[in-house]
Amino acid sequence: MIQRTVLVVLFDGVQSLDATGPMEVFAGASRAPGVSYTLRTASLDGGPVRATSGLTLMPDSSLAEAPVPHTLLVPGGHGTRGSHPELTAWLRVHAPEAERLVSVCTGALLLAEAGLLDGHRVTTHWNYCAQLAHDFPAVEVDPDPIFVRDGRLATSAGVTAGIDLALALVEEDHGRDLALTVARHLVVFLRRPGNQAQFSAQLSAQTAQREPLREVQHWITQHPDADLAVDALAARARLSPRHFARAFRAETGTTPGRYVDRVRLEHARRLLEDTCDPVGRIARASGYGTPEAMRRAFVKALATAPAEYRRRFRTPASAGPAAD
Cβ contacts of residue 218 below 8 Å, gap of 6+?
Answer: none
State the greatest distance between any 2 C-alpha atoms of the chain, in Å, as a whole number: 68
Helices then strands, each counted (H, E), the chain: 14, 11
Question: How far is residue 297's CA from residue 283's CA, in Å, rounded to a whole number?
Answer: 11
Query: Which DSSP letter does residue 79 get?
Result: G
Q: Residue 117, class by beta-carbon neighbours within 10 Å (0-12 exposed, 13-18 middle, 19+ buried)?
A: buried
Q: Are 135 and 128 in contact (CB under 8 A)?
A: no
Question: How far is residue 207's CA from residue 223's CA, in Å, rounded to a whole number?
Answer: 18
Annotation says 276 is catalytic = no
CB atoms within 10 A of CB 29: 24
Question: How far is residue 211's CA from residue 142's CA, in Å, rounded to a whole number?
Answer: 32
Beta bridge partners of 149: 154
Measure Cα distances from 277 to 4, 262, 266, 282, 290 in Å: 41, 20, 15, 7, 14
Residue 269's nearest CA partner among 214, 312, 208 is 312
Q: Are 159 and 18 in contact (CB under 8 A)?
A: yes
Query: What would the 3-class secondary structure string for 130-184 be?
Result: HHHHHHCCCCEECCCECEEEECCEEEECCCHHHHHHHHHHHHHHHCHHHHHHHHH
Catalytic residue, candidates 51, 95, 98, 105: 105
**Element of type H or E holding 216:** helix 211-222
Catalytic residue list: 105
